[in-house]
Amino acid sequence: MNEVILLVEDDEQIHEMVLNHLKKEGYRVISAFDGHEAIALFSEEKVDLILLDLMLPSSNGIEIMQKIREESLVPILIMSAKDSDVDKALGLGFGADDYIGKPFSLIEMTARVNAALRRSNQYIQGTSTKQENKLIILDLLIDLDTFTVYKNNSEIRLTAKEFQILSLLAAHPNQVFTKGQLFEKVWKDTYYGDDNVINVHIRRLRSKIEDNPSTPPTYIKTIWGIGYKMELKK
Protein backbone atom coordinates (compact mmCIF):
# COMPACT_ATOMS: atom_id res chain seq x y z
CA MET A 1 0.00 0.00 0.00
CA ASN A 2 1.61 3.29 -1.04
CA GLU A 3 -1.28 5.74 -1.10
CA VAL A 4 -0.57 9.21 0.26
CA ILE A 5 -3.06 10.78 2.69
CA LEU A 6 -3.03 14.48 3.54
CA LEU A 7 -4.21 14.83 7.15
CA VAL A 8 -5.49 18.33 7.99
CA GLU A 9 -6.33 18.59 11.70
CA ASP A 10 -5.38 21.31 14.21
CA ASP A 11 -6.11 19.31 17.38
CA GLU A 12 -2.69 17.85 18.22
CA GLN A 13 -4.06 14.88 20.16
CA ILE A 14 -6.47 13.81 17.41
CA HIS A 15 -3.85 14.52 14.76
CA GLU A 16 -1.27 12.30 16.43
CA MET A 17 -3.77 9.49 17.02
CA VAL A 18 -4.99 9.45 13.40
CA LEU A 19 -1.47 9.87 12.00
CA ASN A 20 -0.06 6.91 13.91
CA HIS A 21 -3.02 4.69 13.09
CA LEU A 22 -2.90 5.39 9.35
CA LYS A 23 0.83 4.74 9.29
CA LYS A 24 0.23 1.37 10.96
CA GLU A 25 -2.33 0.64 8.23
CA GLY A 26 0.41 1.16 5.63
CA TYR A 27 -0.41 4.63 4.34
CA ARG A 28 2.09 7.44 3.89
CA VAL A 29 0.71 10.43 5.76
CA ILE A 30 1.64 14.09 5.34
CA SER A 31 0.47 16.50 8.02
CA ALA A 32 -1.04 19.98 8.02
CA PHE A 33 -2.40 21.91 11.00
CA ASP A 34 -4.04 24.82 9.17
CA GLY A 35 -5.46 25.75 5.77
CA HIS A 36 -2.40 27.52 4.37
CA GLU A 37 -0.19 24.56 5.19
CA ALA A 38 -2.72 22.16 3.65
CA ILE A 39 -2.89 24.02 0.33
CA ALA A 40 0.90 24.28 0.16
CA LEU A 41 1.41 20.56 0.80
CA PHE A 42 -1.31 19.62 -1.69
CA SER A 43 0.47 21.66 -4.36
CA GLU A 44 3.81 19.99 -3.63
CA GLU A 45 2.76 16.36 -3.16
CA LYS A 46 0.78 13.80 -5.16
CA VAL A 47 -2.07 13.16 -2.74
CA ASP A 48 -4.49 10.22 -3.05
CA LEU A 49 -6.94 11.25 -0.30
CA ILE A 50 -7.50 14.15 2.11
CA LEU A 51 -8.78 13.86 5.68
CA LEU A 52 -9.97 17.37 6.48
CA ASP A 53 -11.19 18.92 9.72
CA LEU A 54 -13.90 21.51 9.03
CA MET A 55 -12.91 23.91 11.83
CA LEU A 56 -9.35 25.18 11.32
CA PRO A 57 -7.38 28.30 12.21
CA SER A 58 -6.85 30.90 9.45
CA SER A 59 -9.32 29.28 7.01
CA ASN A 60 -12.17 26.78 7.32
CA GLY A 61 -12.52 23.41 5.67
CA ILE A 62 -15.11 24.61 3.17
CA GLU A 63 -12.70 27.20 1.77
CA ILE A 64 -9.95 24.60 1.47
CA MET A 65 -12.29 22.20 -0.36
CA GLN A 66 -13.29 24.89 -2.84
CA LYS A 67 -9.66 25.69 -3.64
CA ILE A 68 -8.73 22.03 -4.08
CA ARG A 69 -11.81 21.30 -6.21
CA GLU A 70 -10.72 24.00 -8.64
CA GLU A 71 -7.92 21.72 -9.77
CA SER A 72 -8.50 18.18 -8.50
CA LEU A 73 -11.09 15.43 -7.93
CA VAL A 74 -9.04 13.83 -5.14
CA PRO A 75 -11.31 12.12 -2.55
CA ILE A 76 -11.96 14.36 0.48
CA LEU A 77 -13.30 13.04 3.79
CA ILE A 78 -14.37 15.76 6.21
CA MET A 79 -14.16 15.42 9.98
CA SER A 80 -16.19 17.60 12.33
CA ALA A 81 -17.69 17.71 15.80
CA LYS A 82 -20.66 19.51 14.24
CA ASP A 83 -23.07 16.67 13.67
CA SER A 84 -26.13 18.44 12.25
CA ASP A 85 -27.52 17.55 8.84
CA VAL A 86 -26.92 21.15 7.76
CA ASP A 87 -23.19 20.84 8.35
CA LYS A 88 -23.08 17.49 6.59
CA ALA A 89 -25.01 18.83 3.61
CA LEU A 90 -22.83 21.91 3.38
CA GLY A 91 -19.67 19.88 3.41
CA LEU A 92 -20.86 17.30 0.92
CA GLY A 93 -22.37 19.95 -1.31
CA PHE A 94 -19.08 21.78 -1.60
CA GLY A 95 -17.07 18.78 -2.73
CA ALA A 96 -16.54 16.28 0.07
CA ASP A 97 -16.90 12.59 -0.70
CA ASP A 98 -17.78 11.44 2.81
CA TYR A 99 -18.33 12.70 6.35
CA ILE A 100 -16.94 11.43 9.66
CA GLY A 101 -18.57 12.85 12.78
CA LYS A 102 -16.43 13.42 15.86
CA PRO A 103 -15.87 11.56 18.06
CA PHE A 104 -15.21 8.62 15.74
CA SER A 105 -13.62 5.22 16.09
CA LEU A 106 -10.39 4.49 14.27
CA ILE A 107 -12.02 1.37 12.82
CA GLU A 108 -14.83 3.43 11.26
CA MET A 109 -12.37 6.00 9.95
CA THR A 110 -10.17 3.32 8.38
CA ALA A 111 -13.18 1.68 6.73
CA ARG A 112 -14.27 5.00 5.21
CA VAL A 113 -10.75 5.81 4.03
CA ASN A 114 -10.38 2.38 2.42
CA ALA A 115 -13.81 2.64 0.78
CA ALA A 116 -13.11 6.11 -0.63
CA LEU A 117 -9.78 5.02 -2.09
CA ARG A 118 -11.34 1.87 -3.53
CA ARG A 119 -14.12 3.88 -5.20
CA SER A 120 -11.60 6.34 -6.60
CA ASN A 121 -9.39 3.58 -8.01
CA GLN A 122 -12.33 1.70 -9.51
CA TYR A 123 -13.62 4.84 -11.19
CA ILE A 124 -10.23 5.73 -12.68
CA GLN A 125 -9.63 2.17 -13.93
CA GLY A 126 -13.15 1.90 -15.31
CA THR A 127 -12.85 5.01 -17.43
CA SER A 128 -9.25 4.64 -18.58
CA THR A 129 -9.89 1.56 -20.72
CA LYS A 130 -12.46 3.08 -23.04
CA GLN A 131 -11.57 4.50 -26.43
CA GLU A 132 -14.37 6.97 -27.13
CA ASN A 133 -15.50 8.47 -23.87
CA LYS A 134 -17.67 11.43 -24.71
CA LEU A 135 -21.36 11.76 -23.90
CA ILE A 136 -23.54 14.47 -25.43
CA ILE A 137 -26.88 15.40 -23.89
CA LEU A 138 -28.50 18.44 -25.49
CA ASP A 139 -25.86 21.18 -25.10
CA LEU A 140 -23.79 19.29 -22.52
CA LEU A 141 -20.59 17.49 -23.49
CA ILE A 142 -19.22 15.08 -20.88
CA ASP A 143 -15.64 13.90 -21.42
CA LEU A 144 -15.04 10.76 -19.37
CA ASP A 145 -11.32 10.68 -20.15
CA THR A 146 -10.52 14.12 -18.78
CA PHE A 147 -13.37 14.27 -16.20
CA THR A 148 -14.58 17.55 -17.68
CA VAL A 149 -18.02 18.88 -18.62
CA TYR A 150 -18.74 21.60 -21.16
CA LYS A 151 -21.92 23.52 -21.85
CA ASN A 152 -21.93 25.54 -25.06
CA ASN A 153 -18.12 25.14 -25.15
CA SER A 154 -17.69 26.60 -21.63
CA GLU A 155 -16.28 24.32 -18.95
CA ILE A 156 -18.43 23.59 -15.89
CA ARG A 157 -16.50 22.71 -12.73
CA LEU A 158 -17.96 19.73 -10.89
CA THR A 159 -16.91 17.78 -7.82
CA ALA A 160 -15.98 14.13 -8.20
CA LYS A 161 -19.37 12.88 -7.06
CA GLU A 162 -21.29 15.43 -9.13
CA PHE A 163 -19.37 14.31 -12.21
CA GLN A 164 -20.02 10.63 -11.50
CA ILE A 165 -23.75 11.18 -10.98
CA LEU A 166 -24.03 13.24 -14.17
CA SER A 167 -22.06 10.77 -16.29
CA LEU A 168 -24.06 7.81 -14.94
CA LEU A 169 -27.40 9.43 -15.76
CA ALA A 170 -26.18 10.68 -19.14
CA ALA A 171 -24.91 7.23 -20.10
CA HIS A 172 -28.44 5.85 -19.56
CA PRO A 173 -30.81 8.53 -20.92
CA ASN A 174 -34.46 8.18 -19.87
CA GLN A 175 -33.61 5.38 -17.41
CA VAL A 176 -34.91 6.07 -13.91
CA PHE A 177 -32.44 5.49 -11.07
CA THR A 178 -33.67 5.24 -7.50
CA LYS A 179 -31.71 7.14 -4.86
CA GLY A 180 -30.49 3.81 -3.56
CA GLN A 181 -29.20 2.79 -6.99
CA LEU A 182 -27.41 6.13 -7.43
CA PHE A 183 -25.79 5.84 -4.03
CA GLU A 184 -24.64 2.25 -4.53
CA LYS A 185 -23.32 2.87 -8.07
CA VAL A 186 -21.54 6.16 -7.33
CA TRP A 187 -20.45 5.68 -3.71
CA LYS A 188 -19.95 1.91 -4.13
CA ASP A 189 -21.43 1.38 -0.69
CA THR A 190 -24.59 0.03 0.92
CA TYR A 191 -27.55 2.43 0.94
CA TYR A 192 -29.38 2.72 4.26
CA GLY A 193 -32.13 5.14 3.24
CA ASP A 194 -30.42 8.48 4.02
CA ASP A 195 -31.64 10.65 1.13
CA ASN A 196 -29.80 13.78 2.26
CA VAL A 197 -26.51 13.02 0.51
CA ILE A 198 -28.18 12.35 -2.86
CA ASN A 199 -30.51 15.35 -2.56
CA VAL A 200 -27.64 17.74 -1.85
CA HIS A 201 -25.55 16.49 -4.76
CA ILE A 202 -28.46 16.66 -7.23
CA ARG A 203 -29.31 20.19 -6.09
CA ARG A 204 -25.70 21.34 -6.45
CA LEU A 205 -25.41 19.64 -9.83
CA ARG A 206 -28.54 21.32 -11.14
CA SER A 207 -27.31 24.71 -9.92
CA LYS A 208 -24.28 24.29 -12.17
CA ILE A 209 -25.75 22.82 -15.36
CA GLU A 210 -29.17 24.45 -15.57
CA ASP A 211 -29.67 27.87 -17.19
CA ASN A 212 -32.16 28.75 -14.47
CA PRO A 213 -32.14 26.35 -11.49
CA SER A 214 -35.33 27.93 -10.09
CA THR A 215 -37.39 26.68 -13.05
CA PRO A 216 -38.28 23.04 -13.84
CA PRO A 217 -35.01 21.26 -14.73
CA THR A 218 -34.07 20.62 -18.34
CA TYR A 219 -31.64 17.77 -17.78
CA ILE A 220 -32.09 15.80 -14.54
CA LYS A 221 -35.76 15.15 -13.94
CA THR A 222 -37.21 14.15 -10.57
CA ILE A 223 -39.50 11.12 -10.62
CA TRP A 224 -41.39 11.73 -7.40
CA GLY A 225 -41.26 8.88 -4.93
CA ILE A 226 -38.75 6.98 -7.07
CA GLY A 227 -35.60 8.87 -8.06
CA TYR A 228 -34.08 10.70 -11.03
CA LYS A 229 -33.45 10.35 -14.74
CA MET A 230 -31.64 12.22 -17.50
CA GLU A 231 -34.46 13.06 -19.87
CA LEU A 232 -33.80 12.89 -23.58
CA LYS A 233 -36.95 13.38 -25.63
CA LYS A 234 -37.28 11.12 -28.64
* pLDDT tens-digit readout, 124-145: 444 433 335 788 888 888 988 7
Nearest to 74 by CA among 105, 54, 45, 35: 45
* pLDDT tens-digit readout, 133-185: 788 888 888 988 788 899 887 899 898 899 999 999 998 888 999 999 999 88
Nearest to 167 by CA among 145, 192, 142: 142
Q: Mean per-residue pLDDT for 91-102?
A: 73
Least confident piece of the model among 16-20, 64-68, 108-112, 182-186: 64-68
* pLDDT tens-digit readout, 115-126: 888 877 655 444
Indicate where the chain has its CATH 3.40.50.2300 domain(s).
4-124
This prediction has a pTM of 0.56
Q: Mean per-residue pLDDT for 69-84?
A: 77
172: CB partners within 8 A, 6+ apart: 230
Please state, in angstroms and rounded to a whole number, the distance separating the CA atoms of residues 221 and 176: 9
- Given CATH 3.50.7.10, say whether it is the number of domain 4-124: no
Indicate where the chain has its CATH 1.10.10.10 domain(s).
134-230
- Given CATH 1.10.10.10, say whether it is the number of domain 134-230: yes
